[in-house]
Chains A and B, each alone.
Chain A
Amino acid sequence: MSIQIKNLTVEFQNKSNKIKAIDHASLEIPSGMFGLLGENGAGKTTLMRVLTTILPSTSGTVKMDGIPYTEKNYPKIQRRIGYLPQEIDLYPSLTVEECLEYLGSLSEIPKETCRKRILYYLEKTSLLEHRGKKMRQLSGGMKRRVALVQALLNDPDFLIVDEPTTGLDPEERIRIRNLLVDFSENRTVLFSTHVIEDLAATCSRLAVMKKGKFLYSGSMKELVRMADGHVWTCRLQDEAMARQVEARYLCSSKQLSEDGVRMRLVCESRPEIQCTPAEPTLEDAYLYLENLESV
């Protein structure tokens, strides 16, 4: 199952001018886990909404396994999609089981099949013992897991998750990530986030968005290789020096220690201070890519 996006543009009218949320973007999303990385306002959620048929495109084409995203094809496409939105508040007064059964019936899954899938996914997400609890009694992480189960109920070919780990504690974040990897078997999972660690831990391929355009699309290794030779570590004596260096170069990390300030810099050529080359991480590569004009 793959998604082909060609020259996609999504515009919104805002009083006197038009805003381009997605600007002539092209992308191919293959089977398996695929990451979508970008700063706030990059256009990730708008892209999700186009892919889930919530928003129509202004121009360009989107196809799912060759089926174009047109209104006529929406019912066919919608049956193959599972969507976990960034913010969702499932029915607080219903129990976990009631909520999932209700959503399953709305999406026309046969009752018995729905029940079996609910029990299966609740077990996989360690929620089986909580199935009798009301949604409002669950923690944030548990609610997110229930929302993930609802996205899987119709056994979708294409699972879209929009920032599923936002606001969760580290343990829950890891749990959600691992679940997504488990569920990506025989499926396409589009994992949108602005947390680089999440993608580094789960995806081998990703795209980077900025201001409605794709800056990069390809393998994680290739992206990290782009930043090879452009990452440096240095140790400075004091805070004042560190601020001067920060003003001149892009700093990906800064650590205060007893022997001074350790900094990690991303720049096109070797900085004019004493430093050593370092192995780039995905975070460094992302910063390098985002600021390519200025580094």
Chain B
Amino acid sequence: MMKTEWKICLPAYKLCYALCFVVFFCVIRGVTLTYEIGVALEPAMALFAMLFCANTYTQEISSGRSQIQRLYPMDNRLRSMAERLFLQEIVLLLLSAAGYGLSFLLHRPQTQDTGTEIRIFLIFLAAVLVTLWFWGMLSNFLSCLFRNRWAGIGCCLALWIMTDSSFGKKSFGNWNLFSYALRDIKGLSFSSYYSVSGAAGSYGGTDFHWIYGKILCILLCIGIALMMPAVLKKKG
């Protein structure tokens, strides 16, 4: 089934444009320090996730297949949607990781020791995983709710603009959905950022309060997952 779901939700053209997007973005967006890669990539990949995942179920509605899917058990329909979302999120995560590496290679940012760099990369991966999961699920959910992928993308875009802005940063602080990208790194000198102090919870002077935003993303994802059966029943 996974193989079939892959063929349905990830046709060749979709993988191509996804790869092109990441490559072009990494080429265009310059970085000086490695932590800037995550700051640049997170909102861009979130934007891409909302476009990528919007059509996960609404393709069934536009093609008329939802009329026969109505006859199938709800569990199977939800499982099918979850598998498609999972596969798309994995691809997006791999692309994010590839984008990180590509930025590294193209712009040759200033680096520290390997251990520190690996830590920065793993934290980036964890943060972007939550981001991709949230924006992908939200986009799919809203598209199903409005029975139109463009309505879903539009609403997500409005939220994206509101949160990924100075207004969003000021209003939501550490609870911002883009708390990782918008975390306060000003005033940190290069050396203080990268000093390995060994103090618990500190990472060269960076605090982890931005994690509240990611916890909020996870909670919203759980809420969306709980509401999805009702939306699919009424609107699917």
Which residues of A pack against B, CB within 8 Å?
49, 52-54, 75, 78-79, 81, 83, 85, 87-91, 93-94, 98, 101-103, 105-108, 150-151
In the bound complex, CA of A78 to CA of B70 (Å): 8
A102-B1, A106-B77 given as contacts; is B7 within 8 A of A93 (CB)?
yes
Give 4 closest A-B pairs by Cβ, nearest first: A88-B64, A89-B63, A85-B67, A78-B71
In the bound complex, CA of A49 to CA of B76 (Å): 21
In the bound complex, CA of A93 to CA of B69 (Å): 18
Report whether A88 and B68 are in contact in the complex, using a CB–CB cutoff of 8 Å.
yes
A93-B8, A94-B8, A106-B77 given as contacts; is B71 within 8 A of A53 (CB)?
yes
Report whether A150 and B70 are in contact in the complex, using a CB–CB cutoff of 8 Å.
no
Closest to A83 in B: B68
In the bound complex, CA of A98 to CA of B67 (Å): 19
CB of A95 to closest CB in B, whole Å:
9
In the bound complex, CA of A93 to CA of B15 (Å): 14
Size of the B side of the interface (Cβ < 8 Å), in residues, is 18
Give residues 1-22 of B contacting A (CB, 8 Å). Answer: 1, 4, 7-8, 11
Q: Does B73 contact A (CB under 8 A)?
A: yes
Additional A-B contacts beyond A83-B67, A106-B72, A107-B71 (8; CB < 8 A)? A52-B70, A54-B70, A81-B71, A85-B64, A85-B67, A90-B65, A94-B7, A107-B72
CB of B206 to closest CB in A, whole Å:
45
B-side contacts of A49, CB under 8 Å: 67
A-side contacts of B71, CB under 8 Å: 52-53, 78-79, 81, 83, 107
Can you name 14 A-B pairs with beta carbons within 8 Å? A53-B70, A53-B71, A81-B71, A85-B67, A88-B64, A88-B67, A93-B7, A98-B7, A103-B68, A106-B72, A107-B71, A108-B72, A108-B76, A151-B68
In the bound complex, CA of A49 to CA of B8 (Å): 26
Q: Mark B39-67, 1 if CB is under 8 A from A, else 0.
A: 00000000000000000000000011101
CB of B19 to closest CB in A, whole Å:
18
Report whether A89 and B65 are in contact in the complex, using a CB–CB cutoff of 8 Å.
yes
**Interface residue from A53, A78, A88, A108 paired with B63 (Cβ < 8 Å):** A88
CB of A156 to closest CB in B, whole Å:
9
Closest to B10 in A: A93
B-side contacts of A103, CB under 8 Å: 68
In the bound complex, CA of A70 to CA of B176 (Å): 44
Give residues 65-120 of B contacting A (CB, 8 Å). Answer: 65, 67-73, 76-77, 80
In the bound complex, CA of A108 to CA of B11 (Å): 25
B-side contacts of A105, CB under 8 Å: 1, 76
A-side contacts of B73, CB under 8 Å: 75, 107-108
B-side contacts of A91, CB under 8 Å: 7-8, 65
A-side contacts of B63, CB under 8 Å: 88-90
Report whether A102 and B76 are in contact in the complex, using a CB–CB cutoff of 8 Å.
no
Closest to A99 in B: B4
B-side contacts of A52, CB under 8 Å: 67, 70-71
CB of A270 to closest CB in B, whole Å:
48
**Interface residue from B1, B11, B68 paired with A85 (Cβ < 8 Å):** B68
Closest to B71 in A: A78
**Interface residue from B1, B64, B76, B77 paired with A87 (Cβ < 8 Å):** B64
In the bound complex, CA of A249 to CA of B4 (Å): 58
A-side contacts of B70, CB under 8 Å: 52-54, 78
B-side contacts of A98, CB under 8 Å: 4, 7
Closest to A71 in B: B233
CB of B218 to closest CB in A, whole Å:
29
A-side contacts of B1, CB under 8 Å: 102, 105
CB of B118 to closest CB in A, whole Å:
38
B-side contacts of A106, CB under 8 Å: 69, 72, 76-77, 80
CB of B144 to closest CB in A, whole Å:
16
